[in-house]
A and B are shown apart, each in its own frame.
Chain A
Amino acid sequence: MRPHGWVGLGIVAGAEALLLAREPTVAGWFTPIVWTGYVLFVDGLAARLTGRSYLTTDRVEGVLVALASIGGWWLFELYNAPRFWRGADDAAGLWWRYHGLEPNLFVRRVGYDWAFATIFPGLFLTAAVLRAAVFARARVTPWRPSPRVLALAVTAGAVSVAVPLLFVSTWLVPLVWIGWTLLLEPLNYRRGRPSWLADLTRGDASRPARAPDQRSGLRRALGVLELLGGDAVDVHRPVPRLRQDLRDARARLPRLPAVHARVLRDVSLAARAARRRRADPGRPCYNPARSEPKFTEDLMKAIRVNTPGGPEVLRYEDVPEPQPKAGEATVKIDAAGINYIDVYQRSGQYKLALPLTLGLEAGGTVTAIGPNVTEVKVGDKVAYTGVAGAYAQYAAVPSARLVGLPAGLTTRQGAAAMLQGLTAHYLACSTYPLKSGDTCLVHAAAGGVGLLLCQIAKMRARASSARSPPRRRPSSRARPAPPRSSSTPGRTSKPR
């Protein structure tokens, strides 16, 4: 293998080792790092086997494509990286969003398309290696495609590549991959470049002239070492000499973990999770059987109820940070309002599925939006009610439930106003639209809704007539009487 192939192998192995050590930067940029390593590695292999590759032959366009292939993934990861950074530093991780590069823009689509499309040179190199190493030994019946078939393939490929530029679909990856295959394969074939089509056309003649392979199954399997060690291992030598050669070749190989790094990472995470489960059974933690691996940056703090009961069942726990689905926005919560309904939900009077994150209203800042969200944008100050899960650092909320806060209002005021304020509003303005001359009685006037309802009632009286405000029961004004929920209800006065 050529030297740059070894460099690529080193990059891949180094990245896996650093990932195993939970190095956050490598974790965030894992795909482009490994992809760079892989392209170098497979190019080195292709150069060794076929004598030609993007990086070793002087075909300028080939070098450009290979570099674009690497560069495309680095660009693509620029979109993914903020996910990993958000836990540490909001502003730094989301700089591209604050600079107006909204996720639905054309730029993002091009980024996706480019990233997935430019995998093709890597695949092409892989194909070259496979052709030289494996398929050249298979029997191939000659088949020559007609010009019409080639033109159809190129057209279909171009359309397939272009479609994701117009709209991002769930079929993006296979569309672009198949598109580039259909597009490039006939072009390479017409220009006399190595290609699967050319192999098909030549049939058996495409196989390199070599003696029939009469090696045993074991020796054929060991032939893989030919790819790595080059001429150092001659698998046709007698077995004892072959063993010595293999030992020598192995000594020259860089030391790699016996098991693939990802497997090791899963095993170590699972072991740690098991230890934690034993220490604290209530704690949610990584379970490889049930969840994707979570990096610590994706966790947040939330108050959870695992069993119904008194105030002590509220647990301050690490839970996965919610990601916005279609029509949802993630809100970084500045303040969550406590309501009496939370107590009912906690104590089990209202039956809900457990574990449960309490909290039905909050105010905060939008940090991310999912597809098809038009009501809010990143950075908006918002408040909401009616969506569970506000006792947390972040909540994913249907964007139709979010209300933008007017200038001059804090997110804390928004959190305090939503549930009780809107309740008081509909009671005084819709259930019975209070007008001048009306008299009303507010029970529990010192409670959350009562305090606001009394103010709104007075306000509507003034608005409808400045001269004759409605007579209200003087005793229904706010008074530090014990509100709500008790055997002696927090009424402000007895009806006579």
Chain B
Amino acid sequence: MKRLTDGKGLQVVYDSVGQTTFDKGFNCLAPRGMMALYGQSSGPIGPFDPQTLNAKGSLFLTRPSLNHHIITRAELLQRSEELLGWIRDGKLKLRTEFEFPLKDASEAHRALEGRKTTGKVLLIP
């Protein structure tokens, strides 16, 4: 990883996997880089020593969640207008190949958990 960035390391690691990737992600960061842990699909992370942040180079660690980024209506609108604008202009591609009727919700959950889907899965009432 350091090789790919000419030995400088990464400015930010976006991690939603958690347990199995968390420690390795720290080793890839440049000094003063940021670890953004926004999910933990492989399981919870054990106790964490803040001294690690110093040892690996004055790193930042955050555990953000969407609710805290759309607290006011103004912020919600500002974010969603930009996002929806990108989608409308074709700059951002959504993948929505998987749609299920509402009554087949359990089928949809089975497909999602069995990793038979990619992109967004929608239920149509």
Interface residues of chain A, those whose CB is within 8 Å of chain B, are 301, 303, 311-314, 316, 333-338, 340, 342-343, 346, 358-359, 375, 383, 385-386, 391-393, 400-401, 403, 405-406, 408-409, 412-423, 425-427, 429-432, 434, 438-444, 446-453, 455-456, 459, 471, 473, 480, 482-491, 494-496
Contact = CB atoms under 8 A, between A and B. Distances in A.
Scoring B8, B93, B113, B124 by chain A CB atoms within 10 A of each residue's CB, the highest score goes to B113
A375 B122 CA distance: 26
B109 A311 contact: yes
Contacts of A336: 102, 122-123, 125
Interface string B11-39: 11111111011001101100000101011
B102 A301 contact: yes
B119 interface: yes
Contacts of A427: 14, 36, 38, 64
Given A301-B103, A386-B67, A450 B122 contact: no
Contact of A409 (B25, B69, B84, B121): B84
A312 B106 contact: yes
Q: Which size class do B's interface residues fall under?
A: 35 or more
Contacts of A414: 84
A1 to B, nearest CB: 53
Majority DSSP secondary structure for residues of A touching B: mixed
A430 B79 CA distance: 10
B45 interface: no
A65 B103 CA distance: 53
Given A431-B62, A448-B120, A441 B25 contact: yes
9 shortest A-B CB distances, which residue pairs? A485-B41, A426-B69, A489-B17, A416-B120, A311-B109, A311-B106, A432-B12, A314-B106, A338-B121
Contacts of B113: 311, 343, 485
A473 B110 contact: no
A451 B36 contact: no
Given A301-B103, A489-B42, A440 B14 contact: yes
A476 to B, nearest CB: 9
A459 B106 CA distance: 36
Given A311-B110, A400-B73, 9 more contacts: A358-B105, A392-B102, A413-B94, A432-B11, A455-B93, A489-B42, A491-B21, A495-B27, A496-B4
Given A346-B109, A391-B123, A473-B4, A403 B21 contact: no
Given A448-B119, A459-B86, A343 B124 contact: no
Contacts of A408: 88
A422 B79 contact: yes
Contacts of A316: 102-103, 105
Contacts of B41: 340, 444, 484-486, 489-490
A427 B83 CA distance: 13
Contacts of B103: 301, 316
Interface of B: 1-5, 8-18, 20-21, 24-25, 27-28, 34, 36, 38-39, 41-42, 62, 64, 66-67, 69-70, 73, 76-77, 79-88, 91-96, 99, 102-103, 105-110, 112-113, 115, 118-125
A490 B115 CA distance: 11
Contacts of A340: 39, 41, 112
A443 B41 CA distance: 11
B66 A385 contact: yes
Contact of B42 (A393, A409, A423, A485): A485
B125 A425 contact: no
Contacts of B80: 383, 403, 418, 422
A406 B83 CA distance: 11
Given A337-B122, A386-B70, A303 B105 contact: yes
A313 B96 CA distance: 25
A79 to B, nearest CB: 27
Scoring A414, A420, A443 by chain B CB atoms within 10 A of each residue's CB, the highest score goes to A443
B2 to A, nearest CB: 7
21 contacts: A311-B106, A335-B122, A335-B125, A336-B125, A343-B113, A401-B76, A403-B80, A412-B124, A421-B92, A422-B79, A426-B79, A434-B11, A438-B11, A440-B10, A442-B14, A443-B16, A452-B92, A459-B86, A480-B118, A495-B24, A495-B28
A351 to B, nearest CB: 15
A489 B20 contact: yes
A420 B80 CA distance: 11
Nearest to A401: B76
A125 B87 CA distance: 65
A342 B20 CA distance: 22
Contacts of A406: 81, 84-85, 88
A487 B73 CA distance: 38
Nearest to A300: B125
Given A434-B12, A459-B91, A393 B3 contact: no
Scoring B1, B5, B125 by chain A CB atoms within 10 A of each residue's CB, the highest score goes to B125
A318 B85 CA distance: 37
B121 to A, nearest CB: 4
Nearest to A346: B109
